[in-house]
Amino acid sequence: MQKLKGPGGAITILAIESSCDETSCAICRDGVILSNIIAGQAVHEQYGGVVPELASRAHMQNIVPVVDAALKKAGCDQSALTAIAFTQSPGLIGSLLVGAQFAKSLALALDIPLLAVHHMQAHVLANLIPTDRPAFPFLCLTVSGGHTQIVLCQSPLQMEVIGETLDDAAGEAFDKSAKLLGLPYPGGPLIDKYAREGNPDRYSFPEPQIPGLNFSFSGLKTAILYFLQEQTGKNPDFIQKNLPDICASIQGRIISILLNKLKKAAKETGVRDLCIAGGVSANSGLRNTFRQLGQQQGWQTFIPPFEYCTDNAAMIAITGYYKYLAGQTAVLSVSATARAEW
């Protein structure tokens, strides 16, 4: 029979995240993160994007040292673990399978429960890691490389997507714009860096008129492409000479698209506790503008610390913790899936 609690009644979760190009392992005890180790994969830079086959190979190389390092940093022995959580979906299937197989094997070897976690739900719950937490119900703008969603969260495991992108994600809008500017992958953090020195009002890009709470970024990408073609046609050094202003103007438009919809969602739902999450929530312009907007609107605003914004296992651990408390354990035959509804 599986034991249901660790020594002293503590609930200690080991969590694994491997949905894309970060191999991560975290240890969480009674909802408090003790360690969160993240190994990135520089191998993709030269290809201008994540190469799925190379990502799964790198996960296989990284996973054992990353898990060992997380246990060591937490001062935790495998025998103290209560359950193993892992990212089940969505993501690159080869990458997910490495984490899933490792998690299943460890749960089987230690004879403890397995917890299957949805990656996007975990991004939202990264907001429950710090001690200063939003009250339920709250709204979360989740912005990553693959998703852009507004989520209405009623309790840790009760969430509803009330708005999402119809085409590109906000992270893709950053990364594809960066590519057009000749910047390396992933370009989001570089646009953020150059934008700090630039004037966001110098160039004007259109805001799409999408009904309801949904988003669209494909028109913005096309507008940027035509704008750059026209300007470099006139002056081949245009990008080099105006990079900070171009980056600030692109970033400013992406932020206004995101926050105008969030404002609309807050108005429609009447919810006053608002969060942001996902890789793009590491963007300094979005963080500052979100806080300023919150002050203007009388919202309580919450932003996870940087290490919990981009992909990390701490958010998988906290979600696993709530799933464990709710008795939502997974069977060992559970499989990873590239796409999954909530």
**Which positions lie near ligand KG4, rule CB under 6 A?**
20, 144-146, 171, 174-175, 186, 188-189, 192, 278-280, 282-283, 310-311
Residue 329 · residue 83 · CB < 8 Å: yes
CB 123 to Zn ion: min, Å:
6
Q: Which of residues 301-330 bind Zn ion (CB under 5 A)?
A: 311
* Eight-state DSSP code of residue 333: T
CB 186 to ligand KG4: min, Å:
4
Total residues interacting with Zn ion, rule: CB under 5 A: 2
Among residues 262, 264, 260, 323, the alpha carbon closest in space to that of 128 is found at 323
Residue 99 interface partner, choices Zn ion, ligand KG4, none, CB cut-off 5-8 Å depending on type: none
In this structure, the number of other CB atoms found within 10 A of the CB of residue 102 comes to 22
21 makes contact with Zn ion (CB under 5 A): no
CB 210 to ligand KG4: min, Å:
20
* Structure tokens belonging to residue 50: 């994540």
CB 132 to ligand KG4: min, Å:
22
Q: Which residue lies nearest ligand KG4, judged by its C-beta?
A: 279
d(CA 242, CA 195): 11
Interacting residue with Zn ion among 56, 144, 281, 283 (CB under 5 A): 144
Q: Is 243 helix (H, G, I), strand (E, B) or coil?
A: helix
Distances (CA, A) of 83 to 111, 123, 318, 341: 9, 20, 12, 24
24 makes contact with Zn ion (CB under 5 A): no
CB 276 to ligand KG4: min, Å:
12
Q: Name the residue nearer to ligand KG4 (CB basis): 174 or 324.
A: 174
Q: Name the residue nearer to Zn ion (CB basis): 142 or 177.
A: 142
236 preceded by a cis bond (ω within 30 of 0) = no
Q: Which of residues 200-239 bind Zn ion (CB under 5 A)?
A: none
Q: Is 75 helix (H, G, I), strand (E, B) or coil?
A: coil
Q: Name the residue nearer to Zn ion (CB basis): 273 or 311.
A: 311
Residue 198 interface partner, choices ligand KG4, Zn ion, none, CB cut-off 5-8 Å depending on type: none
- E-strand ranges in the chain read 12-17, 23-29, 32-39, 83-89, 114-118, 138-143, 148-155, 158-164, 273-277, 300-302
CB 172 to ligand KG4: min, Å:
6
d(CA 342, CA 329): 16
Residues facing residue 150 across a β-bridge: 141, 163
CB 195 to ligand KG4: min, Å:
9
Residue 163 interface partner, choices Zn ion, ligand KG4, none, CB cut-off 5-8 Å depending on type: none
Residue 40 · residue 113 · CB < 8 Å: no
Contacting positions for Zn ion (CB under 5 A): 144, 311
